[in-house]
Chains A and B, each alone.
Chain A
Amino acid sequence: GQNIDQPTEMTATEGAIVQINCTYQTSGFNGLFWYQQHAGEAPTFLSYNVLDGLEEKGRFSSFLSRSKGYSYLLLKELQMKDSASYLCAVMDSNYQLIWGAGTKLIIKP
């Protein structure tokens, strides 16, 4: 079956760096997405990786290793507004998104 694993919850300190990991097993691969979702709101797009390596976008970076079925989202210079759930999703061979359960990130002052 298809499976996306990511930690349920993480806690970090304002100003610090946090890495959220995601491992996946899917039927085919057409890219991996990271979305941010604040409570009561719809997900917003953060990043998309389809080739191995690191994609950097401001304070956020995303890494992909297709051979290992592994990705991580790196958040630097954490701000209180970064407190949210972070969703990892993989697009399978049918171009359908398979979603992880999300990682709730709690930022403490």
Chain B
Amino acid sequence: GAVVSQHPSRVICKSGTSVKIECRSLDFQATTMFWYRQFPKKSLMLMATSNEGSKATYEQGVEKDKFLINHASLTLSTLTVTSAHPEDSSFYICSARDFAGDSNEQFFGPGTRLTVL
């Protein structure tokens, strides 16, 4: 099956700093990638849909100036958490669809656990 990688897997940063998370589709081209956030014991919450070569579409309540998304190529999308604060500590997961495939399955990256001190 298709593989999606995320980097880093875990990051600890000081309050006020920015953190960049990378999401890569390793063996397929992903015109669309999705960024999710998950708090402990809660379900996945879609933050934004990232489209290659265009601006991301953010869900209601997600600050686009705080969570910067760049999808510069068909295999890479990045999420930058700017001026991170402790309340941004969460599990961030990306996923991608292989539009050339024969299913609508979304393939998930392994996730990035962000801890803001």
Contact = CB atoms under 8 A, between A and B. Distances in A.
Contact of B43 (A30, A44, A45, A101): A101
B8 interface: no
Interface stretch (A14-22, A52-60, A61-69, A91-99): A91-99
Given A41-B111, A42-B93, A87 B44 contact: yes
Contact of B46 (A41, A42, A97, A101): A97
How many chain B residues sit at the interface, stated as a range, is 20 to 34
Contacts of A91: 104
Given A41-B111, A42-B93, A42-B111, A97 B106 contact: yes
B45 to A, nearest CB: 8
B108 A42 contact: yes
Nearest to A94: B49
A70 interface: no
B27 interface: no
Contacts of B111: 41-42
A48 B97 CA distance: 14
A62 to B, nearest CB: 13
B108 A102 contact: no
How many chain A residues sit at the interface, stated as a range, is 20 to 34
Interface in A22-50: 30-31, 33, 35, 40-45, 48, 50
A97 B59 CA distance: 13
A45 B105 contact: yes
B110 A42 contact: yes
Interface of B: 1, 34, 42-44, 46, 49, 91, 93, 97, 103-111, 113
Interface of A: 30-31, 33, 35, 40-45, 48, 50, 87, 91, 95-97, 99-102
Instruction: For the complex of A and B, list the 3 residue pairs with the smallest distance between their C-beta atoms, beginning with the closest.
Output: A42-B111, A101-B43, A42-B108
